[in-house]
Structure 1
Amino acid sequence: MNDISQETIRYPASRILDVAKALSGDVRVRILEALGDKPMSVSQLAETLGVAQPTISINVQTLEQVNLISSTQGANREKICAVTCRSIHLDLPSKLGDGLHQTEEIHMPIGMFSRCSIQPSCGMAGKDGGIIGSQDDPRVFYMPERVDASLLWFADSGYVEYYFANPLPPGVELDEIRISAEVCSEAPAFREDWASDITLTINDLHVGTWTCPSDFGNRKGKLTPERWKSGTEYGMLTEWSISEQGSKINGIASSPTTISSLQLAFNEPIRVRFEIREDALNRRGLNLFGSGFGDYSQDIILSFVRRSVLGT
């Protein structure tokens, strides 16, 4: 028989959506049925349910993320799965914002910008390391294929601007907003001594300018495809943050812009711009990395940290 670790798991209101999504798939419900009496390996589940093993593995991971399944390593390093409870208890939200996580994140692919100002030299590459369109042709930044970009770059001055949805309902107060991205300067091929002033604005307000010291190409990026042979390999993961006390870059004060001054509205986009300004002291371009390039497996992340949760 299955050794259930607990009879009931209780989930707070902030996890309702996670649990609901995990239980919304027919395959995942069938996995729970199959594990009702005894633990099973992934291959046993695949055979029992008549579903391909990679599909079982993906759905098991989803159930693990909400703690409905636990896994151990069996003989021959095979993954053994077991259910963790007999029932679940969901706390319904009782006040505004209860159904949200402490931190809500939006992950934006780097090719999904809404506006740009680009001059050669410039370009984009996909996850396989292949050039999208033609290199040094600004028209590439208006092609539909841009949505598949995992690296984009431009020299000198210019910008890319992204429109983010506001995930929080009116009345939910924020403690902090954070924007993180992997970035670096842009030189022909690459240059270690190539500083560039990278400015981030939100809704046209200056959040901070970070001086990247280099266009990094002295080693292979941890995620950069082998096919890529064009110089720039990785960047630096940089975080801009805004609170009611002002703005910071990597934890260091950068501007007086506050959350209140952004005038965020539930039904209006949040405009985030990465820019090399024409009047920048170090006007040496930008490389912006997506999840398939560089050292960090992420696109642009905009995070909303709720004040009400942090205060509890």
Structure 2
Amino acid sequence: MNISVNSLNMPLLECFGSETRVRMIELLSRQPMNIKELADALQLSSAIITKHIQKLEENGIVGTESISGTRGRRKVCYLIPDSIVLQLKAPEPPEEHGGSGYAVSIPVGQYERCSVKPTCGLASENGVIGMVDDPRYFSDPEHVKAKHLWFASGFIEYRIPNYLVGRQTVTSFSLSLELCSEAPGYNEHWPSDITFSLGDTVLGTWTCPGDFGSTPGVHTPKWWKLGTQHGLLKTVTVDERGTYLDGVRLSGLTSADLAIGPGRELLFRIACPDTAEHPGGVSLFGRHFGNYDQEIEVRIGYE
């Protein structure tokens, strides 16, 4: 998870301003724990622990699940992200196409190709598009209005504009998006192997820990009642050093290996095949859904 250090992200940054919350994160990094176990470990009341958990949960750091125990139901807490990378320097503003880089925002509904299997569906900010669990509606012209889409297996592919001319070549490729797994309804513990590719080149695979629906998405419409509420913000970067996911090195694949020049088709694919070790599907979020008010944001640097 990449987070810019700015006033918009103060609710998340405040999560680390409390020694109690930091100690809770430290405990949960070792294993999931219920409220009472956390309270006993930190010698605090369950009410205080519950308040801190709510803040961590609202900001996508901790997930919770209610399970049956010997004395009724108990709330088990677990960490969602493996790491959070703080971006201290604000991204450079988009330059003109003749400069050294450009940025584009691709709405999640404006995909080029897809092949999906149920459970699946699309939703705009105002309502569901077509019928749920019917892949035919992914070809409906209304799909361009989608701000949230989901599928149990298959892929979805987006065309990224290529503004290179002459002898220009790509030196960096960065893409950020909000997504998670896709379980019927939702399931906080539903791992999914989600693979990112650019053309025929696999950039890497990320195993999402779950499909998040226990807490409302910050931007998810109030009318939405179909389970999944938000995802995790992930950033894939390929530059001259290698390929990274949220700042963590995935492979030695570099921007030179991509060999992107003028006229080359840039197709970005998000896939979860039936043959994956964890075929847990994909839920993708754009503006007006999830925790981050953004579409698929792409930045390309060149020389």
Q: Deviations over 1:74-99 (max 9, x none)?
A: xxxxxxxxxxxxxxxxxxxxxxx986
Paired residues of 1:165 and 1:268 also in contact (CA < 8 A): no
In 2, Cα distance between the equivalents of 1:283 and 1:305?
A: 33
State the Cα distance separating 1:101 from its structure 2 match: 5.0
- Provide the residue aligned with 2:134 in structure 1: 137
- Paired with 1:188 and 1:119, the residues of 2 have a C-alpha distance of 13
By how many angstroms is 1:171 displaced? 2.6
Structure 2 equivalent of residue 218 of structure 1: 214
Q: Is the 8 A contact 2:170 2:260 kept in 1?
A: no
Pick closer, same or farther for the CA change 1:279–1:257 going to 2, 3 Å: farther
Q: Which runs of 5+ in 2 are unaligned?
A: 1-94
Match of 1:267 among 263, 269, 273: 263
Is contact 2:164–2:261 with CA below 8 Å preserved after alignment?
no
The residue aligned with 1:234 is 230
1:267–1:99 distance in 2 versus 1, CA, 3 Å: closer
Letter in 2 for 1:176: S
Structure 1 stretch displaced more, 97-106 or 117-126: 97-106
| Amino acid of the structure 1 residue aligned with 2:111 | F
Q: Does the C-alpha gap of structure 1 residues 189 and 303 become closer, same or farther in structure 2, counting only changes over 3 Å?
A: same
Q: For the Cα contact (< 8 Å) 1:206–1:255, is it kept in 2?
A: no
Shift in Å, 1:103: 4.0
Matched, 1:121 2:142: no
Distance 1:99 1:131, change over 3 A: closer
Counterpart residue type for residue 301 of structure 1: E
Match in the other structure for 1:198: 194
The equivalent position to 2:147 in structure 1, one of 146, 150, 159, is 150
> 1:264 offset after TM fit, Å?
1.6
Q: What residue number does 1:43 align with?
A: none
Aligned to 2:76: none
1:140 counterpart SS class: helix
Deviation at 1:102, TM superposition (A): 4.9
1:268 maps to amino acid: R
2:219, 2:135 → 1: CA distance?
A: 26
Letter in structure 2 aligned against 1:209: T
Q: After superposition, what is the alpha-carbon deviation per residue over 1:154-212, rounded to whole angstroms, capped at 9, x for unaligned?
A: 01x21001111112323334431101110000001111111111110001111011111
One-letter code aligned to 2:142: E
CA contact (8 A) 1:205 1:257 kept: no
Which has the higher Rg, Structure 1 or Structure 2?
1
What are the Cα deviations for residues 17-46 of structure 1, in whole angstroms up to 9, with x where unaligned?
xxxxxxxxxxxxxxxxxxxxxxxxxxxxxx
Does 2:156 match 1:160? yes
- Following superposition, the deviation at residue 259 of structure 1 comes to 1.5
Between the two proteins, the alignment pairs up a number of residues equal to 209
Q: Which amino acid aligns with 1:123?
A: G
Indicate conservation of the 8 Å contact 2:164/2:263, yes or no: no
What are the within-5 Å matches in structure 2 for residues 177-196 of structure 1? 177-196=173-192
| Displacement after TM superposition at 1:256 (Å) | 3.0
Q: Could you tell me whether the CA contact under 8 Å between 2:169 and 2:261 is conserved in 1? A: no
SS of the residue aligned with 1:147? helix
Other-structure match for 1:92: none
3-state SS, counterpart of residue 159 of structure 1 = strand
CA RMSD of aligned residues (A): 1.7
- Whichever residue aligns with residue 226 of structure 2, its letter is S
The reply on whether 1:246 has 2:239 as its aligned counterpart is no
- 1:111 equivalent in alignment to 2:109: yes
**CA shift at 1:279, angstroms?**
2.6
- Cα distance in 1 for residues equivalent to 2:102 and 2:236: 16
Q: Which amino acid aligns with 1:149?
A: A
Tell me, what secondary structure is at the counterpart of 2:229?
coil
CA deviations 1:94-138 (Å, max 9, x no partner) are xxx98645541111111111111111110000012x110011000
- 247-256 or 178-187: bigger deviation: 247-256
TM-aligned CA distance change 1:186 to 1:98, over 3 Å: closer
Q: TM-score, normalised by structure 1?
A: 0.64
**Which 5+ residue runs of structure 1 have no aligned equivalent?**
1-96
The residue that corresponds to 1:93 in the other structure is: none
Q: Percent identity?
A: 38
